[in-house]
Chain A
Amino acid sequence: MKILTANRLGDGIAVWYADGGWAETVDHADLAHDKAAEDRLEAIGAKAYADNEVVDVNLIDAEVVDGVVEPVRLREKIRAAGPTIRGDLGKQAIRAA
């Protein structure tokens, strides 16, 4: 499965495509289960990039764990949570709050 991720242009914050917009957490990102869905996400990413909403757009591997979307690779897990050495920063801090 794939999800679409990028960084927001204005503040650089990591975002994931979910429910027709860019969410600040990965939990409910739109999942692409097949090639057609991947193409759809890719097209959305390309348009958002062209429209100067986001930069560094990528389709990444994901899985669903306990009903929540999680990236597969460590790099993407860290992007989705925040620095592993600073639990008070990044998305993990939002969740904890």
Chain B
Amino acid sequence: MYRYDEFDHDFVQARVAEFSDQVQRRLSGEITEDQFRPLRLMNGVYLQLHAYMLRIAVPYGTLNGKQLRMLGHIARKYDKGYGHFTTRQNIQFNWPALSDIPVILADLASVEMHAIQTSGNCIRNVTADHFAGAAADEVADPRPYAEILRQWSSVHPEFSFLPRKFKIAVTGAERDRAAIQTHDIGLHLKKNAAGELGFAVYVGGGQGRTPMVARKIRDFLPEADLLSYCTAILRVYNLYGRRDNKYKARIKILVHETGAEEITRQVEAEWQELKDAELKLPEADIRAIEAYFAPPALAGRPEGDAAVKVARLDSKGFSDWLDQNVVTHRHPDYAAVTISLKGIGEVPGDASDSQMEAVADIAERYAFDELRVSHEQNLILPHVARADLKAVYDALVDIGLATANSNLISDIISCPGLDYCALATARSIPIAQEISQRFASLERQREIGELKLKISGCINACGHHHVGHIGILGVEKKGSELYQVTLGGSADENTSVGEIIGRGFSSEEITDAIETIVDTYLGLRLNPQEIFIDAYRRVGPAPFKEALYAGEAKAA
């Protein structure tokens, strides 16, 4: 994985010193809250309902054991013993004292981590496919490009005060696991007919109160032109993006209002001015960054097949977990493992200090010291020898993280909601917990098959409800929580925004409503291979509306 060079170390240390000074001046009253707020936000410090919140960047979701162990240490020493992994592949701590944040940042810097640009109207943490470097279906690891973008966008003077925040995601596979079409810029790394690497470029995707699917503005951008082209996009946005209305300030609105064709023309015109200048990436520089992401030397471990077969017979739990949470690796003797942070009835994305430390141990011992945070709020061990899978499973059982539910209905994305968040209008986590408990049976979940359920506690859509196969949005209506359901959303290579199915449900009704939707799907699917989203796309909303609301119409 990427290691800081001298410049990175100096940059992060300088920021720790600068922000520590700002915190001291704030605590002593030298600067006001109005002066301090933008400074703290640039360093990932928010104020939530109960306390401050610190959001720490996990660049493109990649971590090593030492870093995860440090996160566990911070959770124990400065917080309340746990952290929350987010849909931007970051981690949040919910209870840090402002006065402790300088020392937390110093601890993070010691393991090459920071909280820079995890908030504010700048380019945020660049996200990537969580199976990058391991997936059997990718043309190349997208993370070197995410790292190049990170270096370019860190305190970029021109792009530190954009009209609004700006999010970039990169995938290297046809099967999009990074939700690139819901991002301000989505990059799909691919090869052209000549075998050269480059990107399909998508612009103007986003969620929030105005969900939009990104538009493809270029089918193939040579890799050397990555920064000049992104600069051209950002320049057009910075110039024409609206600053008069916060709710219309994202690039998605500009793309929508201007039209994809005209935006493409503007970007291309800007790019003509930039493409042959200093932003062109030298081949040697790309390969140098790529070398940091060289995969671990994966020795042949052909004994894995036999070991897995025996272990399967021995343990149904292992067999279930293998079927659900373990995916094919590009090396036949290896696999990529999803560590579910969605235990039945647990808080999605939360991990305790001791769980983080234990997972760090497992990664160091069995997974070449590599870990990922997925945007679906799980942890990933990207490279595990099949021969070691049983040992990994046993170690995960010991810490309560062996739930076999990846991609099933209980693998729910949920924002913190009104239990923590100052912006939320309703709670999300208790709804996720209740649904998870209702569908606790693995047999039933398997019968239902792949189903992406996503919950947000307000219109800002941090829980990605718009692109859930089933999405739930919590709002406040007449002083009570009300949950709106959307169906048919998707965040993969066929991204779509879900449609509101009808009137919302109270917190007491919502889990029953979800069960009705699931039962309706089970009753109408063509065969068990037709997953929920495919069935919905085939039949549309009518049967679901009928099942949910027909009784009311008759009663009325």
Chain A residues near B (Cβ < 8 Å): 7, 9-14, 49, 51-52, 55-56, 72-75, 78-79, 82-86, 89-90
Q: Is the CB of B418 within 8 A of A14?
A: no
Q: Is the CB of B418 within 8 A of A12?
A: no
Given A74-B481, A86-B347, 14 more pairs with CB closer than 8 A? A10-B27, A11-B99, A12-B47, A13-B50, A14-B49, A52-B26, A52-B29, A73-B479, A75-B424, A78-B419, A83-B419, A85-B347, A85-B419, A86-B419
B47, B50, B476: the one within 8 Å of A90 (CB): B50
**Chain B window 75-101, contacts with chain A (Cβ cutoff 8 Å), 1 for yes, 0 for no:** 000001000000000000001111100
Residue B427, interface by CB 8 Å: yes
Q: Is the CB of A74 within 8 A of B476?
A: yes
Residue B429, interface by CB 8 Å: yes
* CA of A57 to CA of B95, assembled, Å: 19
Chain B residue nearest to A50 (CB atoms) is B32
Q: Is the CB of A9 within 8 A of B49?
A: no
A64 to chain B: closest CB distance in Å? 18
Which B451-498 residues sit within 8 Å CB-CB of chain A?
Answer: 476, 479-481
* CA of A73 to CA of B48, assembled, Å: 16
- For A10, the chain B residues whose CB sits under 8 A away are 27, 97-99
**Chain B window 422-438, contacts with chain A (Cβ cutoff 8 Å), 1 for yes, 0 for no:** 00100101100100000
- For A49, the chain B residues whose CB sits under 8 A away are 33
Chain A residue nearest to B80 (CB atoms) is A89
Which B33-87 residues sit within 8 Å CB-CB of chain A?
Answer: 33, 47-52, 80
Q: Is the CB of A79 within 8 A of B50?
A: yes
Name the 7 nearest CB pairs between A and B, nearest first: A12-B52, A11-B97, A12-B51, A83-B419, A52-B29, A79-B49, A85-B429
* CA of A79 to CA of B422, assembled, Å: 10
B263 to chain A: closest CB distance in Å? 38
Chain B residue nearest to A53 (CB atoms) is B29
Residue B420, interface by CB 8 Å: yes
* CA of A9 to CA of B80, assembled, Å: 19
Chain B residues near A (Cβ < 8 Å): 26-27, 29, 32-33, 47-52, 80, 95-99, 347, 418-420, 424, 427, 429-430, 433, 476, 479-481
- Given A12-B97, A79-B49, CB of A84 within 8 Å of CB of B419: yes
What are 19 contact pairs spanning A and B, CB under 8 A?
A: A9-B26, A9-B33, A10-B27, A10-B97, A10-B98, A11-B98, A52-B26, A52-B33, A55-B33, A55-B47, A72-B479, A75-B424, A78-B418, A78-B427, A79-B50, A83-B429, A84-B427, A85-B427, A85-B430
Residues of A contacting B: mostly: loop
- For B424, the chain A residues whose CB sits under 8 A away are 75
* CA of A52 to CA of B32, assembled, Å: 7
- For B33, the chain A residues whose CB sits under 8 A away are 9, 49, 52, 55
* CA of A55 to CA of B29, assembled, Å: 12
Q: Is the CB of A78 within 8 A of B49?
A: yes
B27 to chain A: closest CB distance in Å? 6
Q: Is the CB of A51 within 8 A of B98?
A: no
- For B476, the chain A residues whose CB sits under 8 A away are 74
- For B26, the chain A residues whose CB sits under 8 A away are 9, 52
Chain B residue nearest to A11 (CB atoms) is B97
Chain B residue nearest to A77 (CB atoms) is B418
Chain A residue nearest to B481 (CB atoms) is A74
Q: Is the CB of B50 within 8 A of A82?
A: yes
B347 to chain A: closest CB distance in Å? 6
B451 to chain A: closest CB distance in Å? 23
* CA of A72 to CA of B430, assembled, Å: 20
* CA of A75 to CA of B429, assembled, Å: 14
B54 to chain A: closest CB distance in Å? 10
Chain B residue nearest to A51 (CB atoms) is B29
- For A11, the chain B residues whose CB sits under 8 A away are 51-52, 97-99
Which of B33, B49, B97, B347 gathers the greatest number of chain A CB atoms within 10 Å?
Answer: B49
A53 to chain B: closest CB distance in Å? 9
* CA of A90 to CA of B49, assembled, Å: 10
- For B52, the chain A residues whose CB sits under 8 A away are 11-12
- For B49, the chain A residues whose CB sits under 8 A away are 14, 75, 78-79
A84 to chain B: closest CB distance in Å? 6
Chain B residue nearest to A82 (CB atoms) is B50
B27, B32, B51, B427: the one within 8 Å of A13 (CB): B51
Q: Is the CB of B420 within 8 A of A83?
A: yes
- For A13, the chain B residues whose CB sits under 8 A away are 50-51
- For A9, the chain B residues whose CB sits under 8 A away are 26-27, 33, 98
